[in-house]
Each structure stands twice: as C-alpha cells, then as structure tokens.
A and B are shown apart, each in its own frame.
Chain A
Amino acid sequence: MLGEGILKGMAETARNFVGSYFSAERMTTVEYPEERIAPIEAARVFPFLVYDTENWEAGLRCVACQICEKECPPKCIFIEKSKDKKPDAIGKPQFYPTRFDIDISVCMSCQICVEVCPFEAIKMDNVFELATDDRFGGLLLDRKELAKSNEYYHGIHPTEAARVDARLAAEKVKADAKSTAAVVASAVKGAERPAPPAAGGV
C-alpha cells in the first residue's frame, strides 16, 4: 500500500516522542549551564604545570628541558631556561623555567607535551570555561597561572595521578639507593685515602 512506509516511520517517531517522557535513556540533552553532566575523568582540555610542595614556584617539577616546546605541534609553548640551578622538591639542584608560557588560543589540546615530558611535570587540565575577550591577557597563560598543585591533579585525574606518583616514588627509591651507594663508596674511598678532597658539586 502506498504510504505504508511513511506510516511506519511516523509510528516510530511517535514511539520515540512518547518514550522520551518515560525513559531517561531517550532524553539525551542537558540544559547547560544550569544542569551539568559529571565530568569524565580522562577528559583533557589544556595543559598545566604540576608543583609538589606548598610553594608553587619552588615546587615546579619542570626542569626546563624544553622537549615539550620542541615537540608541540603548533609550537604554542615558550620556555626560558634559568641560568642557575635551584633545588627541586627532592632537593636535587635543577634548572627551572624562568618563563613558561602556553598560548591556549593556539594549543590544540593534543597532549603530546604530556607524553614527551620525562619528568611528569606537565599534565592536562579539564577546565573548559575559559572564554574571554582578552586575547593576550586571558589566553596567554604564564608560569603562575599554569601552576597547579599535585593535590589538584589527584582531584581531576585520580587514577592517572596515582600511577604517576607510584612511578616517581619508585624512581626516588632507585635514586636514593644509588646515592647511598655512592656515599658508601666515597666513604670507603675516603677511608682508604687520608685526606678526602673538599666536597665539590653533587
């Protein structure tokens, strides 16, 4: 019968329309911004810099190795490396960035910087409500604006952060073992030689 197909289609639409009153499955839209869906843990928006201790400036994990700057596809990271070394969170002297800018109007949220960073210093944030009319003031983030604490990182990506912490802890144990071994070795050496040389470097 001509029109049968159309009627069948109409019945389908009616079923969906009525169904949307009864089943939450069929109501898929959310009235943003009054209503929000729960954030998805893996979601990534723009990068931020992780710091450990209380002080954001001293605790930055970033050692200004500039790998991320080189690998960033649209080249939106800008780093100036310090001339001197400063002790990092564990007390090891390291370079630090005197300037670390990310132009988030160019950044494409690709996460390459996170992947290539050998120091777990840069991670992805999930804040997305960043619209502003101030191109240079609001969208060029500097070191201070980028720095977020490790607790914050745990808050947004708990699983990933736990994995990272475990990795860092393991590394620290290894490094400690090495340095103790070094200390022991040098102590042995010192015992052999009557006059130990003055401590220089690390």
Chain B
Amino acid sequence: MTDTAFRREKMEEGWNRPPLIEEDGEAELLEVAMGPHHPSTHGVFRMDLALDGERVVRLKPVFGYLHRNHEKIAEGISYLASMPYTDRLDYICSLTNNWAYALAVEKLVGQQVPERAEYIRVILAEFTRIQNHASSIGFLIQEMGASGTPLMYAFREREKILDLFEELTGSRMMCNYMRFGGCRVDTSAAWLDAARKVVDGLPGFVDEFENLLSTNEILMARCQRVGILRPELAVNAGITGPMLRASGVNYDIRKVDHYGIYDRFKFRVPLGDHGDIYDRYMVRILEMRESITILNQALRDIPGGPIMDAKAKIRGFRPKPGEAYGRIEAPKGELGFYLISDGGPNPYRYRVRPPSLINLTVLEDMCLGSNVADVVLIFGSVDIVLGEVDR
C-alpha cells in the first residue's frame, strides 16, 4: 500500500482512534520523542511518535513546558492588571489578545467604545494579522528546509509594522495598549501617515513573497496533499482560523459576530478546497491581501473624536456579578475570554480559549500515515505559539 493510499484510508475511517498498527504488521515500532528541544517545535513542545519505518502510526502531543497558570494569576489580580499578561499569551499578536480581553470585559460591564478607538483597534488588529501570517509562513518554509530567506523577508516587513507599534504603544511586542472602553494613547496624524506608507508597501511585499514561493515546485511537492483535514472533522474538533477556512468551511468571526465595526468594511473570506498544507499557506497569503484592503478602508475613514469612553474607569474597576464570553478572530483562530465576576475587584474566573491549543487537537489525525519529515511541516502549518498553548 502506498503512503497516500494508507493515509486516505485512515482519513476515511473517521477520527475516533484509527487502528494504530496494521494487522499483519511485523515491523517493530520505533518510539521517538520529538522535542521539547527540537528546531521545528517553535518553543518547548514535545510529540511522542511511534514510527513504523518512516511512517507515523501514533502521535501524542505533550504540553505544559511553558505552563505558568495564567488563569490562576489573573484570578489574583485586578482586571486591568491582567491586560499586560494577555500580551504574553500569543506573543506574536499581543494586540489581538488585548482586544479579545477588552471585548470580554466590555461585554461584562456593558461598556461602549468610541468610534475612533474602534478604528484604531481594527487597524492594529489587521497589521497584527499581516505580520503574524507573514512570519508563520516564513517559519513553515524554514521547517521545509529553506533556511532563512523567506523568513527574513517576512521579518523585514514585520519590522516596519513593529516600528509602528512601538511608536504608538511604546513596545514592539508587549503592547499593553487596549483598555476597557477604548485605547490608551491616541494616534497622531504623523503616525497615521506612517501607517499609510507601510500599507502602501505591503502589496509589493506579498507579491514578492508569492513570486518566491507560490509556484515553487519543491514547495508544491512537499505541501500538496499532505496533512489533509476534512471539513466535518475540522468543525467537530473546534478548529478555527485559517486552518478551518483552508478546509473549506466559511466561518470567520469578523463576518459572523461583526464585533467592533467589522460590518463597515468590505472584504472577502478566502477558502481552501483540499484542506492540505498548501491550502493553509494560500489562505494565509490571501488573508494578508484582504487585510490590506481593510487597512486601506480603515485608514481612509478613521474619524476624529475621543479614544476613551467618558464612563470608562481605570481605578476602582468592579464589575457587577455576572459573566460574559467575548471572542474575536485572532490571526490563529478564535480567541475567547470567559469571565465570571462576583462583584469584586478581581475576576472570580478568568478563562482563555486558546486557538493554538485547540487547533492541535487534530494533529494526530493529520499526521497518521505520513512520513516523519511531513510531521514537521504539518505541525508548522497549524501555526501555534507555545505561550498560548500552555498558558
């Protein structure tokens, strides 16, 4: 049986624990612990593999190396004091983490956000999405063996975006920028001009990236028909973000919930056909292009006005008892915060729904039957950050 046929058969058997070893298999299984220190694991993450020759017959992810019990820390400090800790979840996309948390708290207390602040949030979130997708593609290609070039191109562009972040928020990665009811500092006209300039340069960068990669025969050979994820399984397993859309499921929280002011912008949701690694790559490229159109619209329309709601409180913030779940479409998938308040200054329960962790649910299903070398690629195509997986 060829690898592909084997893989296809296992996929068709459904997700629930496919047989690990073929009946007649005489081959001895080789157990390999990939990680926690492995160049391909983006951090400290371990996969316990069982191999039959080159073929994966079992894969168990092992988590917790970066576990710091973020949720417990948050239960012991005030609502505001958790904001800088959210930066450290998915440390590539601190601004979307800020937004998700601010959104959940705003739902909890029924806080309004001024229009200008909403525009700033959209602008920052889309910049975040672009730099996340660019670097995640860079990492993916790096794992394929193209050491450096695409990643460095991505980083060159990311650098410009991070400079913008630093100029506005004071920090490149740990931005700690959004507040319940608005944003911390206002954008200056000079900043908006600089942002427009960066956005003008972005389509050229995406073109360059695509010239470099999209039709590359090696990339296609390694990525197409590898790590296939069927849409039914993707939905059932709670996969979100570009991974879900690469499998052809049209579910983008920006379109579903219209949180913030996303109903004002015209953009399309790219969908994949096959649900393989190449589709995930392509969906990310196309999402970058859509983000650029959103950025253009937002930077064109941004109104004047305050950036903090007048009723918002910084000191002595105590929500009334109740609970709220707020979620956004973060670059990696659905990032949600679930808060329960008992009326005190600290949350009674603070839960993060981490897209990175939940997207790994199907890692074993995607890898069964493929080669070890493909595991690295499939894992890379999920696009995770360990700070968020382990929290």
Q: Does A71 contact B (CB under 8 A)?
A: yes
Q: A9-B213, A13-B149 are in contact. Are A44 and B170 (CB under 8 A)?
A: yes
Residues of A near B85 (CB, < 8 A) are 73
Number of chain B residues close to chain A: CB under 8 A:
36
**Shortest distance between the CB of B199 and any CB in chain A (Å):** 15
**Which of A48-56, A105-113, A146-154, A177-185 interfaces with chain B?**
A105-113
Which residues of B lie under 8 Å from residue A124 when comparing CB positions?
170
Q: How many residues of A are in contact with the other chain, CB < 8 A?
A: 31
Which residues of the other chain, A, contact B153 by a CB distance below 8 angstroms? 16
* A9 B212 Cβ-Cβ under 8 A: yes
Tell me, yes or no, whether A90 is within 8 Å of chain B by CB. Answer: no
- Add 4 more A-B contacts to A5-B220, A71-B315 (CB < 8 A): A8-B216, A9-B212, A40-B166, A40-B167
**Judging by beta carbons under 8 Å apart, are A5 and B215 in contact?**
yes
Give every chain A residue within 8 A of B166 (Cβ-Cβ): 40, 42-43
Q: Assuming A43-B166, A110-B174, is B149 touching A5 (CB within 8 A)?
A: no
Q: Is the CB of A116 within 8 A of B314?
A: yes
Closest chain B residue to A108, Cβ basis: B84
Give the docked Cα–Cα distance between A184 and B7 (Å): 91
B33 within 8 A of A: no
Given A71-B80, A110-B176, A40 and B163 touching (CB < 8 A)? yes
**Any A CB within 8 A of the CB of B81:** yes
Q: Quick one: given A42-B166, A73-B85, A108-B84, are A6 and B184 in contact (CB under 8 Å)?
A: no
A2 at the A/B interface (Cβ < 8 Å)? yes
How near does chain A come to B78, taking the closest CB pair, in angstroms?
A: 6
What is the bound-complex CA distance between A185 and B340, given in angstroms? 51
Q: Which residue of A lies closest to B216 (CB)?
A: A5
Q: Which of B81, B171, B212 contacts A12 (CB 8 A)?
A: B212
B residues 175-230 near A (Cβ < 8 Å) are 176, 184-185, 208, 211-220
Q: Is B310 an interface residue (CB 8 A)?
A: no
Identify whether the interface residues of B are mostly helix, strand, loop, or mixed: helix
Task: Name the A residues within 8 Å of B163 (CB-CB).
Answer: 40
Q: 10 A-B Cβ contacts within 8 A?
A: A5-B214, A6-B216, A6-B218, A11-B211, A13-B149, A28-B159, A40-B163, A44-B170, A72-B81, A112-B176
- Tally of contacts, chain A with chain B, CB under 8 A: 80
B254-273 CB contact bits vs A (8 Å, 1 = yes)?
A: 00000000000000000000
Residues of B within 8 A of A40 (CB): 163, 166-167
Closest chain-A Cβ to B188's Cβ sits at a distance in Å of 8
Binding site for B on A (CB under 8 A): 2-6, 8-9, 11-13, 16, 26, 28, 40-44, 67, 71-73, 108-112, 115-116, 118, 124
In contact, A5 and B176 (Cβ under 8 angstroms):
no
Residue of A nearest to B153 (CB): A16
In the complex, A12 Cα to B77 Cα: how many Å? 51
User: Shortest Cβ distance from B162 into chain A, in angstroms?
Assistant: 11
Determine the distance from Cα of A71 to Cα of B83 in the docked complex, in whole angstroms.
12
Q: Is A42's CB under 8 angstroms from B81's CB? A: no
Q: Is the CB of A12 within 8 A of B170?
A: no
**Roughly how many angstroms separate A108 CA and B167 CA in the complex, as a whole number?**
18
Whether A42 lies near B217 (C-beta < 8 A) is no
Inter-chain contacts of A67 with B (CB < 8 A): 315
Supposing A4-B215, A28-B156 touch, asked if A109 and B174 sit within 8 A by C-beta, the answer is yes
